[in-house]
Amino acid sequence: MTTEALYQELTYVNHSREKRLYYANLVINDISLIPKLLDILFMVDDKISPRAAWVFEFMCGEKLEAIIPFLDSFTKNIHKVHLDSAVRPVAKVCEYLVKALYSKHDNAIKKALRHKHKEKIIEACFDWMINDEKIAPKAYAMNSLFLLGSDYDWIHPELVLILERDYQMQSSGFKARAGHILKKIKR
Task: Supply φ then ψ for residue 105, to 5 degrees.
Answer: -95, 145
**54-100: per-residue pLDDT in tens?**
999 999 999 999 999 999 999 999 999 999 999 999 999 999 999 99
**Distinct helix (H) and strand (E) counts, the chain:** 11, 0
Q: Residue 35 and residue 96: Cα distance in Å, rounded?
A: 19
Amino acid of residue 61: G
Q: What CATH number does the domain containing 30 carry?
A: 1.25.10
Report the pLDDT value the prediction gives residue 60, as an integer from 0 to 100: 96
Domain with 65 in it? 3-186
CB 58 within 8 A of CB 21: yes
Q: What is the pTM of this model?
A: 0.93
* HSE toward the beta carbon, residue 15, CA cutoff 13 A: 2
* Count of beta carbons in the 10 Å neighbourhood of residue 45: 8
CA atoms within 13 A on the CB side of 24: 22
Q: Over the stretch 124-171, which tens digit does the pLDDT of each residue have?
A: 999 999 998 888 999 999 999 999 999 999 999 999 999 988 877 878
State the total domains in the chain.
1
